[in-house]
Amino acid sequence: MYIFRVGVVGAGTMGAQIAQVVSYAGLPVVLTDVTMDRARHGMETVRRIYQARVERGKMTPEQAEEKMLLVSSGCDFRALQEVDLVIEAVSENLALKRQILHELDAGCAPGAMLVSNTSALSISALGAATSRPGKVLGLHFFNPAYAMPLVEVIPGLATDPETVNDIVGFAESIRKVPIVVKECAGFLVNRLLMSYLNEAVLCVQEDAASCKDIEQDMLAFGMPVGPFTLLDTVGLDISYDVAKILFEHYGPRMAPAALLAELVKNERFGAKNGHGFYEYEGPDTGTLQRLIEKVQHETGHRPMPWKPTRLLCAMVNEAVLALQEGVASARDIDLAMVAGIGFPKEKEGPLHYADSLGIDTVLAELETYAQTLGARFWPAAMLRRMVAAGFTGSAAGRGFFTY
């Protein structure tokens, strides 16, 4: 199915960014929200993105205006009656998204595809709110959508294969790298990323290392930003909501760090309100340290030696679990983590990194962490099978990949 016209529901940050991406690729797009004021605000966000490109010399003012002519706005679903694809980009609330998809199902053309930009919610549950579940799937953009190349394509249980193919083609047409991911809580990138970020918070909670030391070591490894800078940028409240979803589905190994919950309870949401792991408004008042000590008193803690492999092994183990479950191929897992979170290109992704480190070494590290830190580090069964078979990584010529 060729897509001639696109609708976006939700004119907030992500919705506006998605509208800009679609218009930049040359497709007309209708940006809608519940009021015209919100829709106009979204239009201004699109304009600011184009203006920034003009100021950087990436396009002329005339070219920016041509792209803006492809973007229109509206405050109800009547503006979406003639679109071929609707991208829902409202807040992460299952009931709200189901209601919107139900209304879109009634108001859009029978052949229109309805996709959600959700980062963690069930696509099957969203599809069930419509009479066309075969044409419903997830299309997860990463923030900022105009800069991040990756999109996750997530079919629900009832999604038609043709719909998947159409959306993969659409993603490629708007200059994105689509990775088809089997439906699961957190999908692929957020599932692996939260195992890494949550472990970083636990390290601080347990006095293994300071935020500064952990950030420096992960930057030295090659990550584009440190874990606490990333958490503050995404929003600690949003990260905590995702962590709770993962905990609900995967159990104790994904239990949110008590410190993360305490920070959210004290309305330290990150850069957006000026206070998170770092202070963005005024000097450090010592609040973070007091909250750390409060959580330590309530939970007890044993300071453990700090090594970057603690965070990396948590991510690698979750990647192997996702591979075991068939969420994505080894190639796509690594590609998604490089394109989605900036895992160092020279290390090629967590599974290539495990191969270079040695699968036997990874297994031994996980076993040590499981004994000292708990069952969340229990090694994926696939790792034991690989070591027993001699698939120990690049040095052996075979691991997750062949060398």
Asked if 387 and 363 touch (Cβ cutoff 8 Å), the reply is yes
Which residue has 């992460």 as its token pair? 92
240 vs 260: CA distance, rounded Å: 7
105 domain residue, yes or no: yes
Q: Tell me the CATH number at 235.
A: 1.10.1040.50
pTM metric for this prediction:
0.90
- pLDDT tens per residue across span 241-262: 999 999 999 999 999 999 999 9
Task: For the chain, give the mean pLDDT.
Answer: 94
- Are both 16 and 119 inside the same structural domain? yes
- pLDDT tens per residue across span 108-117: 999 999 999 9
Q: Which residues contact 235 (CB under 8 A, 6 or more apart)?
A: 269, 270, 271, 272
75 domain residue, yes or no: yes
320: number of Cβ within 10 Å: 25
Does residue 304 have a pLDDT over 90? no
Domain hosting 67: range is: 6-180
The continuous run of DSSP H or E covering 37 comes out as helix 36-55
154 domain residue, yes or no: yes
Domain finish residue from 162, 180, 198: 180
Between strands 113-116 and 85-88, the pairing is parallel
Confidence of residue 183 (pLDDT cuts 50, 70, 90): very high
Does residue 301 have a pLDDT over 80? no
In which order are the strands placed within the sheet that holds 113-116? 71-74, 29-32, 6-9, 85-88, 113-116, 136-141, 150-155, 177-180
Tell me how many domains the chain contains. Answer: 3
How many residues in the chain? 403
- Are both 87 and 128 inside the same structural domain? yes
Question: Could you say which of 140, 249, 275, 301 is catalytic?
Answer: 140
- Are both 15 and 144 inside the same structural domain? yes
C-alpha torsion sign, points 361, 365, 370, 374: negative
**What is the DSSP track for 328-349?**
S-HHHHHHHHHHHH---GGGTS
Angle, in degrees to the nearest 10, between helices 309-324 and 189-205: 150
- Are both 114 and 59 inside the same structural domain? yes
Q: Tell me the CATH number at 32.
A: 3.40.50.720
266 vs 326: CA distance, rounded Å: 39
The arithmetic mean of pLDDT across residues 180-189, rounded, is: 94
403 domain residue, yes or no: no
304 domain residue, yes or no: no
The arithmetic mean of pLDDT across residues 358-383, rounded, is: 96
- Are both 197 and 121 inside the same structural domain? no
Please tell me the predicted confidence (pLDDT) of residue 218: 97
Where does 156-253 show beta strands of DSSP type E?
Answer: 177-180
DSSP 111: T
402 domain residue, yes or no: no
The continuous run of DSSP H or E covering 74 comes out as strand 71-74
Does residue 285 have a pLDDT over 90? no
- pLDDT tens per residue across span 132-142: 999 999 999 99
- Are both 30 and 168 inside the same structural domain? yes
The arithmetic mean of pLDDT across residues 329-334, rounded, is: 96
- Are both 197 and 246 inside the same structural domain? yes
- Are both 322 and 295 inside the same structural domain? no
297 is catalytic: no
273: number of Cβ within 10 Å: 14
- Are both 163 and 19 inside the same structural domain? yes
The arithmetic mean of pLDDT across residues 378-384, rounded, is: 97
- Are both 20 and 110 inside the same structural domain? yes
Domain finish residue from 126, 148, 180: 180
171 domain residue, yes or no: yes
Between strands 85-88 and 6-9, the pairing is parallel
Q: Tell me the CATH number at 391.
A: 1.10.1040.10
Which residue has 């290109």 as its token pair? 345
Half-sphere exposure for 333 (CA within 13 Å, toward CB): 27
Please tell me the predicted confidence (pLDDT) of residue 176: 95
Does residue 219 have a pLDDT over 90? yes
180 vs 139: CA distance, rounded Å: 9
- Are both 261 and 282 inside the same structural domain? yes
Share of the chain above pLDDT 70, in %: 100
20 domain residue, yes or no: yes
DSSP 379: P
- Are both 37 and 144 inside the same structural domain? yes
Domain finish residue from 239, 270, 299: 299
